[in-house]
A and B are shown apart, each in its own frame.
Chain A
Amino acid sequence: MSAGVGYTPYHPRWYRRRVSVWWWMESRSYTGFVLREISSVAVAFFAVVLIALLRALARGPEAYARFAAALASPLMLAASLVAFLFVLFHAVTWFHLAPTAMVVRVRGKRVPDAVILGSNYLAWIVLTAAVAFILLRG
Chain B
Amino acid sequence: MRQTVGVSVARYRPEQEAEPVFQDYEVPFRKDWVVLDALNYIKDRLDGSLSFRWSCRMGVCGSCGMMVNGQPKLTCAAFLSDQGEGPIRVEPLRFFPVIRDLVVDITDFMRKLKKVKPWIVRETEKPVAEGEYLQTPDQLDAYKQFSMCINCLLCYSACPIYGLEPTFVGPAAIALAQRYNMDSRDQGARERLEILSHKDGMWECTFVGECTKACPKHVDPAGAIQQYKLASAAHWFKTLLPLGSR
Contact = CB atoms under 8 A, between A and B. Distances in A.
**Chain A partners chain B:** yes
Interface of A: 1-3, 9-17, 19, 23-24, 26, 29-30, 33, 37, 97, 100-103, 108
Interface of B: 12, 14-15, 19-20, 70, 94-95, 97-99, 105, 107, 138, 141, 160, 163-164, 206-210, 212-213, 220, 222-223, 226-227, 229-230
Given A15-B14, A29-B213, A33-B209, A101 B97 contact: no
Most-contacted residue by chain B among A12, A37, A108 (CB, 10 A):
A108
A2 B212 contact: no
B164 A19 contact: yes
Contacts of B223: 100-101, 103
B95 A14 contact: no
Chain A contact surface mostly: loop
Nearest to A101: B226
B213 A15 contact: no
Nearest to A2: B107
Contacts of B207: 97, 101
A27 B118 CA distance: 32
A23 B160 contact: yes
Contact of A24 (B105, B160, B230): B160
A1 B222 contact: no
B162 to A, nearest CB: 10
Contacts of B97: 1, 14-16
Contacts of B226: 97, 100-101
Contacts of A3: 107
Contact of B95 (A15, A19, A30): A19
Contacts of A37: 206
Nearest to B100: A11
Contacts of B213: 29
